[in-house]
Structure 1
Amino acid sequence: MDAMKIVALPLLITLMQSPVCLSVTVSTSKPKVEVHEHTDAVLSCEFRTEKDQSPRIEWKKRGKGVTFVYYDQKFNGPYEGRAKIEGATLTIHSVTQKDSGEYRCEVTASKDHVNLGEVIVTLNVLVPPHVPSCEVPGSVFVGAGLDLQCKDKLSVPPATYRWFKDNKALTATPDTPYSIDSNKGTLKFKSVSKTDAGMYRCESSNNVGAPKSCVAQQLKVTEYPLNMTVLIAGAAGILTLTLLCCICVCVCRRRGCCKKNKKTKSTKSYNPPPPPPPPIRNLKHYKQTQSFMI
């Protein structure tokens, strides 16, 4: 027993002489917060200090850069006048999609041995569906391909889409002449027929608010006019004839049928030489028979 006291006494003295590690601790009861647009968002931040009773509290938003939300005991930028702080818990009033992101609560206790503690809270602002933009052409020819587009870029989470024809929901099956992508909002026809004409509209939804629909638009399906058909047929015939002529010329050249004869007759005109002058007659010796005296 005495031996144990002898061993424990130096250990106790060592513990009493060693410095006590005093530190600030920061935590949150809800690291991920989801609220609807235009409501209040409460970002929880609790702290405990060992010695410092008046720590410095800061809130920052992390994004492409760092935005100071609460600094030097006041709110900054877009948070001024629309936020409050209780202890270290931050409340943002009437949030919008721009408020979504990561927020960092920092508590600095200068009198503690470890004087900085922090915690991150993620805010996600949910946005109900908006009226989608619908692209429906006024008319299309029979047999043509067709893509109808529907987009809602503002809803969070991203919307899913449904298409309606004459107020009846369309459901794609292997037997239908169209296909639907509910995530991209496309309605595709490989080959339009006259029965596909009607009033088309699109509806977006994301389970945050009520679905929203665009105004129905009329789609007309018409046949090609006769003159257009004749024009297309004539153009196709001319193209085919031109192609055949080109093929024939190429084949002829390869077989040597179209080579020019190297020996060609001269095409220069022949001009005969001028006729020779008339022959000079032989003069007889002239004998003087009479002399004249002047």
Structure 2
Amino acid sequence: MALCFWVTIFAVLSAALAISVSIPKEVYEVARGDNVTIPCSFKSTVVLSQIKALSVHWARLGKNPEDPASKILDYYYPANELDINAKYEGRVGFVSKPETGDVSIYLSKVNLEDNGFVECAVNIAKDSDGVNTRATNLLVLVAPSKPLCSLEGKAEYGQDIMLKCFSEEGSPTPIYKWTNYDVRNTLRPDPPKSKQENGMMTLVNVSLDTSGFFICTSSNKIRSASCNITVAVMPPSMNIALTAGIIGAGVVALVVIAVAVYCCCCRNTGPPEEYEMEVPGEEEYDPKSKTLKNTKEYYDEDNEPCHNGDTYNDDGEEEENKRSRPPMIPPNKPRNMGHSDS
């Protein structure tokens, strides 16, 4: 019993004589673009006024334990040397003098790269026992950016499709929720066998009843944003592009056939040429040329017919018949349409 008492007293005295670094809260939240103060303090077995050497190290820890930490700043006392990482130049500094026990820092114009765990470490000469480091989570709050909605797959009867929703920005990480409305704009429960996970909504064996208006909401503790998409489920044969192509080809074919028929049927539209017959006896005798008009027979002064300078006499019955024979009918000739005979 006495042994346990002395062990407890020794432990308490050891703790009192060891260095102790503390940060009040596990998480500090700040909106992007705002300023924040991250408190950190230490206690030491060495009287503050008698501290001969002090160093303070602030760093941003990696996302994974194996990732190296990146320096924010280093401070050395009594030289009063301050070494700041170029990424934080002009944005970070101590709130008060570190040798007073307060090593809190301020960080201005916070951005998403500042998001994550930060660590405060204090080293004092001749005081190496105890806990000299503490860490806290700096949570930079960013409202979700407007998400993008998309559809993956074919919205045809019996098919499985997936609706996707994603915000490029958002801290903390946004939570996604899909809601849907039917064609009459009435809110309805999710379709049977549907599943939502990480902004993706799977629709199984879609049908006409699946058609509707789907809205995705991306939200975190700052605010929310949304996007929407219309799902119209069609029969497999309703390929609009193919149907339009077939209809277009059919129209062109009909036009070509109509033009061909028109050209064949309407090529000769004018009235046919008419011919008139020369009536025998209509020829007139020309005294000057001693010929019958429209004939090639000639007559001499005694009105005897002759041909090529040869005179025909009336010896014999055959010659008499020739003279009494009416003139030859000339070939048909086109009628002078639109003019009267003179």
Flag whether TM exceeds 0.5 (same fold): yes
Matched, 1:209 2:218: no
SS in structure 2 of the partner of residue 73 of structure 1: strand
Change (3 A) 1:25 1:148: closer
CA contact (8 A) 2:153 2:161 kept: no
- Greater CA radius of gyration, 1 or 2? 2
Change (3 A) 1:136 1:91: same
CA contact (8 A) 1:162 1:169 kept: no
Unmatched tracts of structure 2, length 5 or more: 1-15, 75-80, 97-102, 240-342
Q: How does 1:65-144 map to 2 (within 5 A)?
A: 65-71=68-74, 72-87=81-96, 88-110=103-125, 112-114=126-128, 117-136=132-151, 140-144=155-159
Change (3 A) 1:113 1:184: closer
How far 1:164 moved relative to its partner? Answer: 3.2
Match of 1:171 among 189, 192, 211: 189
How far 1:210 moved relative to its partner? Answer: 2.2
Amino acid in the other structure paired with 2:42:
F
SS in structure 2 of the partner of residue 140 of structure 1: coil
Q: How many residues align?
A: 201
Instruction: Give CA deviations for 1:56-83 in whole Å, capped at 9, x if unaligned.
Output: 3221222121211112413212111112
CA contact (8 A) 1:134 1:151 kept: yes
Query: 1 or 2 for the larger relative contact order (CA 8 Å, sep ≥6)?
Result: 1
2:224 and 2:186 map into 1 onto residues whose CA distance is: 16
1:89 and 1:23 map into 2 onto residues whose CA distance is: 20
Alignment TM-score, normalising by the size of structure 2: 0.50
Matched, 1:148 2:163: yes
Q: In the alignment, what sits opposite 1:291? A: none
CA contact (8 A) 1:136 1:148 kept: yes
Amino acid in the other structure paired with 1:118:
T
Matched, 1:190 2:185: no
Amino acid in the other structure paired with 1:114:
S
CA contact (8 A) 1:178 1:187 kept: no
Q: In the alignment, what sits opposite 1:62? A: 61
Match of 1:37 among 17, 32, 39: 32
Unmatched tracts of structure 1, length 5 or more: 1-20, 228-294
Alignment TM-score, normalising by the size of structure 1: 0.58
User: Percent identical across equivalent pairs?
Assistant: 24
Matched, 1:224 2:227: no
